Amino acid sequence: MHEPTADSLIGQPVDALPTPALVVESEALEHNLALLATYFASRPAKLRPHFKSHKCVTLARHQLEAGSAVGITCAKLAEAEALVAGGIRDVLIANQVVGPAKARRLAALNRSAAVRSAVDSLVNLAELGEAATAAGVTIGVLIEIDIGMHRCGVPPGEPVLALASRIRETPGLRLDGLQAYEGHLVTHPDPQERRAKVAKAMEPVQTTARLLQDAGFSCEIVSGGGTGTYDITGNLEPFTEIQAGSYALMDCSYKKVSPMFRNALFILATVISSHQHFVVADVGLKGMGNEFGLPVIAGAPRAKPRCIAEEHLPIDDLPASVGRKIRIIPSHGCTTCNLHRTMWVAHRDILVDFWPIEGSGALE
Amino acid sequence: MHEPTADSLIGQPVDALPTPALVVESEALEHNLALLATYFASRPAKLRPHFKSHKCVTLARHQLEAGSAVGITCAKLAEAEALVAGGIRDVLIANQVVGPAKARRLAALNRSAAVRSAVDSLVNLAELGEAATAAGVTIGVLIEIDIGMHRCGVPPGEPVLALASRIRETPGLRLDGLQAYEGHLVTHPDPQERRAKVAKAMEPVQTTARLLQDAGFSCEIVSGGGTGTYDITGNLEPFTEIQAGSYALMDCSYKKVSPMFRNALFILATVISSHQHFVVADVGLKGMGNEFGLPVIAGAPRAKPRCIAEEHLPIDDLPASVGRKIRIIPSHGCTTCNLHRTMWVAHRDILVDFWPIEGSGALE
């Protein structure tokens, strides 16, 4: 006897949800989607919203419907599989898809959709080419350039040209362009410095794109950018696509960097223990990301979460009795959504829908 | 075309798994289960292994079969529901189950199993009593005492007696004893100090248990302890049950505190990008807990993980080419298992089984 069932909660107040529950406020979400769609409507660069921030296929469809979007970005193969299964036909995996078995899965996706991948090594090119040829498809790839984050990607310039030449020689592969992600700069706190640092970091991408074109290589797509840099990278040559993700739902960290977007995501929690100077809510590390710090309690500016335990959030200076529902804005939406299976949708405090989070958890 | 399927991987080497994958080494697991079962075989206190550390019902059954265990501990109602659905009939929810709907779910569980709950407030007692009476069952409760962690629980002494009196007056409830968890001390680095601090912290539990008994209350169960204190709290009056969880799978943090247990858990990952001084593995915050720090790369003592990104682990000083499989021992097993849906079981590097992690994710 699990009660109440999900369907029976539609039309009920948000507070009727069993806790912890992940809730999206539809008006704030619509505001965020419209803001970015409008911004890119009149610009040459377009949006390719990042699935990793919410992992919900229904929300990805809303992002496409909002306009100015050419497709969806995602972080890994299993996310792309969820997107294609959900009817989305233009996907960029902004990451390396490594190993023969995964290469075959990627090739299989390209039978019914355009699913591109970032690449940065010869061994990976060989795997992808072999799988594509065996499946009778062509896989479009973007060469990833490391512009200072020092994660994946090759240095700009000659190493990119070398990979481009190999792609041209590899049956089953098609060079579609470049990826360069300024992940080390997207949340830089000072807006002026952020702008200057991003412009500087992207100079080698411009040079490399020219090198490629001069050598007769195609460079149709150049992908990068995030919620904190959409209005910087989105206006820089040669970028054609911006991979912003957090803008849709936001969190209390990104809100400081990009205040034009609204916090559309919260965790509904219940006070399960109440004491003289603190209370304890029923959500912790297993329902909330922690790597960007402590969350914020909506509507309670004096409340101070003390730490995030596994299943508890002790909160100082929040007078509340046992049973009270509270709304918690997490410090990182991406890792929070990854912990939940369902995203509840609320319109003015009434539950109107629930969306599966198909990509949640540690996908392979 | 998702290949290979889970069944087809049985009998294959561990490295055949799509990554990231959570893997348990069966010999190390058996060592850990046998060590603690043997320890408690000759002692008055017994084990009630904590489900929250792995969230896998099959592993919980192995813990019971290993012996010296009276049942399973878990952290929340949905975990208890998974355990009862999996045939486990004696469960302690070491936490408060708050709200009328959850109280009804707890009462429903008690129709076919003994599922006790911790309590620390009058409002919660009323909810549980009402639900139990309506369902025609009795719910056994343990009064939680705060012995210094300052999370849930009431202070020792009179506040416990007051709750005990209310439990006696509440139809549908039965006072079974006390819970006192020394979570702030279980990983104290110095073993001697840990022992002294735990003994001191538990003195008020002894006093309170005597007060209860003198007042004619039952105190059959006194529950507490963890992997770092099983040989301290497990030998203290009046404890009857030890809630250790991490001992089964371990992690690289707990290994420093409790070296008698073996690391039985690792994440199989693939090197997806290789550079002169570092490589990048394909698992990050979405597949690995981070709150206890960086993980360890098995068999590579010089390798230094630099940080944990969402889907990437950059590792300095690990010479490895793209495609190489590596084994990562996470810093916290509990939050790592919570991110995975399947636990692969390996015996001497060959896959022999896979167990669902029924309790993973943010459960309600």
Q: State the Cα torsion B156-B159-B161-B167 to the nearest 10°.
A: -120
Residue A29 located in a structural domain: no
pLDDT in tens, B231-245: 999 999 999 999 999
A269 SS3 class: strand
pLDDT at B156 over 70: yes
Residues A296 and A239 reside in one and the same domain: no
Q: Is B339 on the interface with A (CB under 8 A)?
A: yes
Q: In angstroms, how far apart are the furthest CA atoms of chain B?
A: 72
Position A4 scores a pLDDT of: 66
Confidence of residue B3 (pLDDT cuts 50, 70, 90): low
Q: What is the DSSP string of A231-251?
A: HHHTTSTT--EE---TTTT--
Q: Is the bond preceding A100 in cis, omega lying within 30 degrees of 0?
A: no
Separation of alpha carbons A289 and A310, rounded Å: 11
Q: Is B364 on the interface with A (CB under 8 A)?
A: yes
pLDDT at B1 over 50: no
User: What's the structural domain count of chain A?
Assistant: 2
Residue A6 located in a structural domain: no
Task: Please identify, among B184, B215, B249, the residue that sits at the C-terminal boundary of a domain.
Answer: B249
pLDDT at A288 over 90: yes
Position B218 scores a pLDDT of: 85
pLDDT in tens, B214-232: 999 989 999 999 999 999 9
Query: What distance lies between CA B48 and its chain's CA centroid?
Result: 10
Q: Which residues of B touch A17 (CB under 8 A)?
A: 364
Residues A202 and A286 reside in one and the same domain: no
pLDDT at B98 over 70: yes
Mean pLDDT of A10-15: 98
CATH, residue A213: 3.20.20.10
pLDDT in tens, B61-72: 999 999 999 999
Task: Please identify, among B229, B249, B269, the residue that sits at the C-terminal boundary of a domain.
Answer: B249
Residues A332 and A230 reside in one and the same domain: no
Separation of alpha carbons B120 and A274, rounded Å: 9
Domain that holds residue A300: 11-24+259-356
Residues B162 and B188 reside in one and the same domain: yes
Residues B224 and B292 reside in one and the same domain: no
Q: Which residues of B touch A272 (CB under 8 A)?
A: 95-96, 98, 124, 152
Alpha helices in B42-152, H assignment, sequence order: 57-65, 77-85, 100-109, 122-135
Task: Please identify, among A249, A281, A305, the residue that sits at the C-terminal boundary of a domain.
Answer: A249
Position B4 scores a pLDDT of: 66
Residues B65 and B212 reside in one and the same domain: yes
Residues A237 and A132 reside in one and the same domain: yes
Residue in chain A closest to B286 (alpha carbons) equals A362
Residues A218 and A158 reside in one and the same domain: yes
For β-strands B46-47 and B241-242, DSSP reports them as parallel
CATH, residue B334: 2.40.37.20
Q: Are A94 and A77 in contact (CB under 8 A)?
A: no
Burial of A298 (0-12, 13-18, 19+ CB in 10 A): middle
Residues A314 and A203 reside in one and the same domain: no
Residues B238 and B270 reside in one and the same domain: no
| Nearest-neighbour CA in chain B from A136: distance (Å) | 15
pTM of this structure:
0.97
Residue in chain B closest to A53 (alpha carbons) equals B310
pLDDT in tens, B165-200: 999 999 999 999 999 999 999 999 999 999 999 999
Cβ A314–B287 below 8 Å, yes or no? no
Residues B237 and B282 reside in one and the same domain: no
Residue A236 located in a structural domain: yes
Predicted-assembly ipTM surpassing the 0.95 threshold: yes
pLDDT at A190 over 60: yes
Q: Are B248 and B33 in contact (CB under 8 A)?
A: yes
Beta-bridge mates of residue A69:
A47
Cβ B362–A308 below 8 Å, yes or no? no
Confidence of residue B212 (pLDDT cuts 50, 70, 90): very high
* Other C-beta atoms lying within 10 Å of the C-beta of residue A44: 11
Q: In 3D, which of B104, B361, B47 has the Cα closest to residue B117? A: B104
